[in-house]
Amino acid sequence: MKYLIAFASIFSLLLAGHAASGAEVTRPNIVFILADDLGWADTTLYGQTKYYRTPNLERLAQRGMLFTHAYSASPLCSPTRASILTGQNPARIGITAPTCHVPEVRLTASVRPTANATSKSLICDSATRFNTNYVTLAERLKAAGYATGHFGKWHLGPEPYSPLQQGFDVDVPHWAGPGPAGSYVAPWKFKDFDADPGEPNQHIEDRMAKEAVKFMEQHKDGPFFLNYWMFSVHAPFDAKKSLIEKYRQRTDPQDAQRSPTYAAMVESMDDAVGTLLDTLDRLGIADKTAVVFYADNGGNMYNEIDGTTPTSNRPLRGGKATMWEGGIRVPAIVNWPGLTKAGTRSEAMIQSTDFYPTILSLLKLSPTPNHPIDGVNIVNALRGDAFERGPMFTYFPHQTKVPDWLPPSVSVHRGDWKLIRLLHQGEDGAHAYELHNLREDQGETNNLAKGQPALVKELDALIEKFLADTKAVVPGRNPAYDPKASSGPAATKKAKQAAAGNSSIPGWSTSRFAALSVSGEEWQIVSTGNDPWVATRDLPAKAKGPFTLRLRMKSNATGEGRVYYTDAAKPGFNKEQSVALTVLHDGEWHDYKVELPAEKLTSLRLDPASGKGEIRIGSLELSDAAGKLVKAWKHK
């Protein structure tokens, strides 16, 4: 809880700021829609997709201003969410990774004192909770007379760090996890939050939009702040069956965007936007309601669904969890009645940190004492006037071994230029650099750093000042780094293992939330939570199903299990081709039998848990329709 005296001082400042204006302040309702993992190329707004359909986002863009160069404050979700609520950069907040659902409570970031000999830099641990000492945007608006409601994903910490402790009157479904509970399509696994009666297969965004509509109807006389942070289009990848089939019929296998499941997820997301717009029109309050649409980071390029990555961010490079443009440039629309002009387009560079100071400025609310703001006021950009925001910074001090990954780094955008400082990745522990002119090379294919040493030095000085100003916790050089450990046969073996995720077993790959290895005569899966799957394509090509999978396993993790399978007709893992596996996480050995109704098998995925812990597998065998053993994986 905030201290009462602090609240009193803030409230008095708000009143003083209001009185000083000398006139009644027009305070519109505010609807802030944040999509999860929606890439810059995932909508029809920028002409980059022929596959997805987002007519309601186009409708919103026709009412307001579309931004072509909008950025998240981080290539991953939780840091960006904290930046929206505070106007501060994740470097200052300390939440630099999406770890706010883990059991360990850390309110500050830290650096580990040691690291593996193959790592050039030390390891940074993110804060895992959004400290309630921050005065959030919701608290500022609530003190100014707004009704405040949060709907959808939070991922900044469970109670006592939930929306209800951060300025929101309402929080639905009051869920602290990184994605929807279990599935997008009911039945869900939210506590005390089920599908509407009579809709057993209800989509979570349909339900969230309904809940948001109720909130708007209740507070239609305003002002209200509706914070709708969608679960879409984050994993797990599933959608309405009818929509998946619709997009399957129009899939072009040569298109970089070709996942019908993901396309269906995008449509349901867009439908929810349409529901909110329809409600504003029906209630007659569209002309006094500001609507912001944004995304928390770039599109997902490292998971697999329907035999491909969920999406493609082309022509941008990289995606979610990378510092390339594909990881941080996002779709953005702002419709602020009386300020933005309908159907306009802006090339102004904006960031998620900018909404906090901008909204306070438009509402004539004075800044909170002792609350540094890293974002800038973008009112001039919203008017369509000349606007130059100055340098913009992104800080991501983590190693995420995703495709096209970058080591721990920090970047600065200034005008057309972008400099990425790769922390301690150069010779003898020095920094390495990537310099790109985004107007000439938006795909970031040509590193100009060597040919522009003066510009690198100038932009790097801005980075240094930013890190000092924000008091960022920065990983230093790893004194145990050994170049020999990073080259030669051992490194080649490690690289092959990295390509399989965290698996040391040939033929098997893992998610980034699991490590698979041999321990004695058993397989050991170490789960860090979220989605700790292991998968293989090492399957008998001529065997005929249906198949039976038998496994002997013990676990001290948590969560329900599931076995996914694919065939030639449907090569991507999806919920329709999966079987629930009730795992007993009691630390004892149990035998499990799973029936797989497939004629042929092309790949197999075991999701033994969803929580943190250790799973051991003593045997894993596959039998065909006749009961004949067709595959047994050896565990030594």
- C-alpha 295/C-alpha 80 separation (Å) is 9
Range 114-133 average pLDDT? 92
Range 26-41 average pLDDT? 96
- C-alpha 296/C-alpha 77 separation (Å) is 5
Which two tokens mark 59?
């409708």
Angle in degrees, 0-180, between the axes of helices 241-249 and 260-282, rounded to the nearest 10: 120
Tell me the whole-structure pTM to 2 decimals: 0.76
Q: Which of 14-28, 44-58, 202-216 has the lowest mean pLDDT?
A: 14-28
Range 575-580 average pLDDT? 83
Is the pLDDT higher at 582 or at 205? Answer: 205
Q: Give the model confidence (pLDDT) of 401-448 as tens digits.
A: 788 889 999 999 999 999 999 999 999 899 999 999 999 999 999 999
Is the pLDDT higher at 351 or at 488? Answer: 351
pLDDT confidence band for 7 (50 / 70 / 90): very low
Contact 18, 25 (CB under 8 A): yes
Q: Is the pLDDT of residue 478 over 50?
A: yes
pLDDT confidence band for 16 (50 / 70 / 90): very low
pLDDT confidence band for 515 (50 / 70 / 90): confident
Q: Is the pLDDT of residue 107 over 60?
A: yes
- C-alpha 634/C-alpha 525 separation (Å) is 15
**pLDDT more than 90, % of the chain:** 65
pLDDT confidence band for 503 (50 / 70 / 90): low
- C-alpha 428/C-alpha 435 separation (Å) is 21
Contact 90, 363 (CB under 8 A): no
Which two tokens mark 455?
């510009």
Complete domains list, the chain, with CATH: 4-92+130-389 (3.40.720.10), 496-632 (2.60.120.260)
Question: CA end-to-end span of the chain, whole Å?
Answer: 53
Write down the pLDDT at residue 14.
Answer: 40
Q: What is the 3-state secondary structure (H, E, C) of 516-571?
A: EEEECCEEEEEEECCCCCEEECCCCCCCCCCEEEEEEEEECCCCCEEEEEECCCCC
Choosing from 77, 101, 124, 234, the catalytic residue is: 77
Q: Which of 97-106, 266-275, 514-523, 580-589 has the lowest mean pLDDT?
A: 514-523
**Is 100 assigned a catalytic role?**
no
Choosing from 18, 150, 155, 436, the catalytic residue is: 155
> What is the rounded radius of gyration, in angstroms, for the C-alpha atoms of the chain?
25
Contact 390, 352 (CB under 8 A): no
Q: Give the model confidence (pLDDT) of 375-404 as tens digits.
A: 999 999 999 999 999 999 999 999 887 888
Q: Which of 13-17, 335-339, 512-516 has the lowest mean pLDDT?
A: 13-17
Largest CA distance in the chain: 85
Write down the pLDDT at residue 585.
Answer: 86
Which two tokens mark 568?
């030639």
Following CA atoms 197, 202, 204, 210 in sequence, which dihedral angle do they give, to the nearest 10 degrees?
A: -60
Contact 538, 507 (CB under 8 A): yes
Q: How many CA atoms lie within 13 A of 187 on its CB side?
A: 3
Q: Is the pLDDT of residue 23 over 70?
A: no
Given the DSSP bridges, would you call strands 603-607 and 534-536 parallel, antiparallel or unpaired?
antiparallel
**pLDDT more than 70, % of the chain:** 92
Residue 260's alpha-carbon distances to 121, 266, 322, in angstroms, are 40, 10, 24
Contact 122, 408 (CB under 8 A): no
Q: Give the model confidence (pLDDT) of 609-619 as tens digits.
A: 888 888 989 88
Q: What is the DSSP string of 399-464?
A: ----TT---SEEEEEETTEEEEEETT-SGGG--EEEEEETTT-TT-----TTT-HHHHHHHHHHHH
Write down the pLDDT at residue 537.
Answer: 83
Chain-wide mean pLDDT for the chain?
89
Q: Give the model confidence (pLDDT) of 533-568 as tens digits.
A: 888 888 887 888 899 999 998 988 888 888 988 876
Contact 94, 107 (CB under 8 A): yes
Q: Which residue has the tokens 């070709």?
A: 258
Q: Is the pLDDT of residue 10 over 50?
A: no
Q: Is the pLDDT of residue 314 over 50?
A: yes
Write down the pLDDT at residue 577.
Answer: 85
Is the pLDDT higher at 102 or at 20? Answer: 102
Q: Give the model confidence (pLDDT) of 47-99 as tens digits.
A: 999 999 999 999 999 999 999 999 999 999 999 999 999 999 999 999 999 99
Range 166-177 average pLDDT? 96
Q: Is the pLDDT of residue 5 over 60?
A: no
**Is 69 assigned a catalytic role?**
no
